[in-house]
Amino acid sequence: MALSYNSQRIILMKSTAKETGVQGRIVNLASTAHRRSDGKGFDLNKLNNESKYNAFSAYSHSKLANILHANELSRRFQEEGCDLTANSLHPGIIGTNIVRYITTNSVLASIFSLVKPFVKDIPQGAATTCYVALHPDTKRVSGKYFAGCNEATPTSVARDAELAKRLWAFSEELVENRSK
Protein backbone atom coordinates (compact mmCIF):
# COMPACT_ATOMS: atom_id res chain seq x y z
CA MET A 1 0.00 0.00 0.00
CA ALA A 2 1.34 3.41 -0.95
CA LEU A 3 1.47 6.02 1.77
CA SER A 4 -0.86 8.96 1.44
CA TYR A 5 0.59 12.44 1.01
CA ASN A 6 -0.37 13.29 4.60
CA SER A 7 1.23 10.11 5.97
CA GLN A 8 4.44 10.98 4.16
CA ARG A 9 4.38 14.48 5.66
CA ILE A 10 3.83 13.16 9.19
CA ILE A 11 6.75 10.74 8.81
CA LEU A 12 8.90 13.68 7.68
CA MET A 13 7.72 15.80 10.62
CA LYS A 14 8.56 13.00 13.08
CA SER A 15 12.07 12.57 11.71
CA THR A 16 12.65 16.33 11.59
CA ALA A 17 11.53 16.76 15.21
CA LYS A 18 13.81 13.90 16.26
CA GLU A 19 16.83 15.18 14.31
CA THR A 20 16.49 18.86 15.23
CA GLY A 21 14.98 18.67 18.70
CA VAL A 22 12.35 21.17 17.55
CA GLN A 23 8.80 20.16 18.31
CA GLY A 24 6.43 19.87 15.37
CA ARG A 25 2.90 21.19 15.71
CA ILE A 26 -0.15 20.31 13.65
CA VAL A 27 -3.11 22.66 13.87
CA ASN A 28 -6.51 21.64 12.50
CA LEU A 29 -8.88 24.45 11.71
CA ALA A 30 -12.29 23.59 13.13
CA SER A 31 -15.18 25.79 14.16
CA THR A 32 -17.69 26.32 16.91
CA ALA A 33 -20.09 25.07 14.23
CA HIS A 34 -19.06 21.56 15.34
CA ARG A 35 -21.60 22.10 18.14
CA ARG A 36 -24.42 21.65 15.60
CA SER A 37 -23.23 18.10 14.97
CA ASP A 38 -24.67 15.99 17.77
CA GLY A 39 -23.02 12.84 16.50
CA LYS A 40 -26.33 11.25 15.52
CA GLY A 41 -26.11 12.69 12.02
CA PHE A 42 -22.43 11.84 11.91
CA ASP A 43 -22.98 8.28 10.73
CA LEU A 44 -19.78 6.97 9.15
CA ASN A 45 -21.79 4.38 7.21
CA LYS A 46 -23.83 7.12 5.57
CA LEU A 47 -21.26 9.89 5.37
CA ASN A 48 -21.52 10.15 1.59
CA ASN A 49 -25.31 9.79 1.40
CA GLU A 50 -26.27 12.44 -1.16
CA SER A 51 -30.01 12.04 -0.51
CA LYS A 52 -29.61 13.41 3.02
CA TYR A 53 -27.06 16.11 2.17
CA ASN A 54 -27.48 19.48 3.84
CA ALA A 55 -24.74 22.10 3.45
CA PHE A 56 -24.99 23.41 7.03
CA SER A 57 -24.96 19.89 8.50
CA ALA A 58 -22.07 18.85 6.27
CA TYR A 59 -20.06 21.89 7.40
CA SER A 60 -20.77 21.10 11.06
CA HIS A 61 -19.84 17.43 10.58
CA SER A 62 -16.61 18.40 8.80
CA LYS A 63 -15.59 20.66 11.69
CA LEU A 64 -16.39 17.91 14.17
CA ALA A 65 -14.25 15.57 12.07
CA ASN A 66 -11.36 18.06 12.20
CA ILE A 67 -11.46 18.04 16.01
CA LEU A 68 -11.74 14.26 16.19
CA HIS A 69 -8.83 13.92 13.76
CA ALA A 70 -6.57 16.18 15.84
CA ASN A 71 -7.50 14.28 18.98
CA GLU A 72 -6.74 10.88 17.46
CA LEU A 73 -3.53 12.16 15.89
CA SER A 74 -2.50 13.53 19.30
CA ARG A 75 -3.26 10.20 20.96
CA ARG A 76 -1.13 8.38 18.39
CA PHE A 77 1.75 10.83 18.80
CA GLN A 78 1.67 10.41 22.57
CA GLU A 79 1.53 6.63 22.23
CA GLU A 80 4.61 6.70 19.96
CA GLY A 81 6.43 9.18 22.18
CA CYS A 82 7.27 11.45 19.26
CA ASP A 83 7.76 15.19 19.71
CA LEU A 84 4.72 16.31 17.74
CA THR A 85 1.47 17.86 18.89
CA ALA A 86 -1.95 18.06 17.23
CA ASN A 87 -4.64 20.52 18.26
CA SER A 88 -7.76 22.06 16.77
CA LEU A 89 -9.27 25.52 17.01
CA HIS A 90 -12.09 27.90 16.20
CA PRO A 91 -10.62 31.04 14.62
CA GLY A 92 -13.80 33.09 14.96
CA ILE A 93 -15.97 34.59 12.26
CA ILE A 94 -13.58 36.35 9.92
CA GLY A 95 -14.39 39.00 7.33
CA THR A 96 -12.75 37.48 4.26
CA ASN A 97 -13.57 37.92 0.58
CA ILE A 98 -16.04 35.03 0.75
CA VAL A 99 -18.56 37.63 1.94
CA ARG A 100 -18.77 39.02 -1.58
CA TYR A 101 -20.73 35.90 -2.55
CA ILE A 102 -23.07 36.20 0.43
CA THR A 103 -23.96 39.82 -0.16
CA THR A 104 -25.48 39.06 -3.59
CA ASN A 105 -28.44 37.56 -1.69
CA SER A 106 -30.44 40.38 -0.07
CA VAL A 107 -31.53 38.29 2.95
CA LEU A 108 -27.99 37.12 3.66
CA ALA A 109 -26.66 40.63 3.04
CA SER A 110 -29.07 41.96 5.69
CA ILE A 111 -28.00 39.29 8.17
CA PHE A 112 -24.34 40.00 7.47
CA SER A 113 -24.81 43.72 8.06
CA LEU A 114 -26.15 42.88 11.54
CA VAL A 115 -23.22 40.64 12.48
CA LYS A 116 -20.51 42.70 10.77
CA PRO A 117 -19.55 44.55 13.98
CA PHE A 118 -18.71 41.18 15.58
CA VAL A 119 -16.64 39.87 12.66
CA LYS A 120 -12.86 39.68 13.07
CA ASP A 121 -10.45 41.14 10.55
CA ILE A 122 -7.89 38.78 9.06
CA PRO A 123 -5.07 39.42 11.60
CA GLN A 124 -7.54 38.93 14.48
CA GLY A 125 -8.78 35.75 12.84
CA ALA A 126 -5.24 34.42 12.50
CA ALA A 127 -4.38 35.10 16.16
CA THR A 128 -5.56 31.79 17.63
CA THR A 129 -3.93 29.79 14.84
CA CYS A 130 -0.62 31.59 15.41
CA TYR A 131 -0.94 31.18 19.17
CA VAL A 132 -1.46 27.41 18.98
CA ALA A 133 1.23 26.95 16.31
CA LEU A 134 3.93 29.17 17.80
CA HIS A 135 3.44 30.32 21.38
CA PRO A 136 5.71 28.84 24.08
CA ASP A 137 2.66 28.34 26.35
CA THR A 138 1.31 25.71 23.96
CA LYS A 139 4.53 23.69 23.83
CA ARG A 140 3.74 20.08 24.73
CA VAL A 141 -0.01 20.84 24.68
CA SER A 142 -1.74 18.32 22.47
CA GLY A 143 -5.23 17.02 21.80
CA LYS A 144 -6.85 20.28 22.85
CA TYR A 145 -9.36 22.66 21.29
CA PHE A 146 -8.81 26.42 21.34
CA ALA A 147 -10.91 29.53 20.74
CA GLY A 148 -9.95 33.16 21.30
CA CYS A 149 -6.32 32.21 22.09
CA ASN A 150 -7.50 30.09 25.02
CA GLU A 151 -8.13 26.43 25.58
CA ALA A 152 -11.85 25.79 25.22
CA THR A 153 -14.11 22.79 25.73
CA PRO A 154 -15.63 21.25 22.62
CA THR A 155 -18.78 19.14 22.77
CA SER A 156 -18.74 15.70 24.35
CA VAL A 157 -19.07 14.19 20.85
CA ALA A 158 -15.88 16.02 19.83
CA ARG A 159 -14.13 14.42 22.83
CA ASP A 160 -15.37 10.90 22.01
CA ALA A 161 -12.14 8.87 21.69
CA GLU A 162 -13.93 5.83 20.25
CA LEU A 163 -15.60 7.93 17.54
CA ALA A 164 -12.20 9.46 16.74
CA LYS A 165 -10.71 5.97 16.32
CA ARG A 166 -13.62 4.87 14.11
CA LEU A 167 -13.29 8.00 11.96
CA TRP A 168 -9.55 7.34 11.61
CA ALA A 169 -10.15 3.74 10.49
CA PHE A 170 -12.92 4.87 8.13
CA SER A 171 -10.59 7.48 6.59
CA GLU A 172 -7.80 4.94 6.15
CA GLU A 173 -10.23 2.61 4.40
CA LEU A 174 -11.40 5.40 2.07
CA VAL A 175 -7.83 6.35 1.18
CA GLU A 176 -6.86 2.71 0.64
CA ASN A 177 -9.88 2.09 -1.62
CA ARG A 178 -9.12 5.24 -3.64
CA SER A 179 -5.52 4.17 -4.25
CA LYS A 180 -6.54 0.79 -5.74
Q: Which residue has the higher pLDDT, 163 or 175?
A: 163
Helical H segments across the chain, by residue range: 5-20, 55-80, 99-102, 106-115, 122-134, 161-178
For helices 161-178 and 55-80, what crossing angle results, to 10°? Answer: 100
Residue-level length of the chain:
180
* Angle in degrees, CA 147, 94, 84, rounded to 5: 45
Is the confidence at residue 102, as pLDDT, over 60? no
Q: How far apart are CA 133 and CA 91, in angstroms?
A: 13
Q: Residue type for 68, please?
A: L
pLDDT > 90: percent of the chain:
53
Domains along the chain with CATH numbers: 5-178 (3.40.50.720)
45: pLDDT strictly greater than 90: no
Residue 168 has pLDDT above 70, yes or no: yes
- CB–CB of 46/52 below 8 Å? yes
Q: Can you tell me the mean pLDDT for 92-104? A: 67
Positions marked catalytic: 53
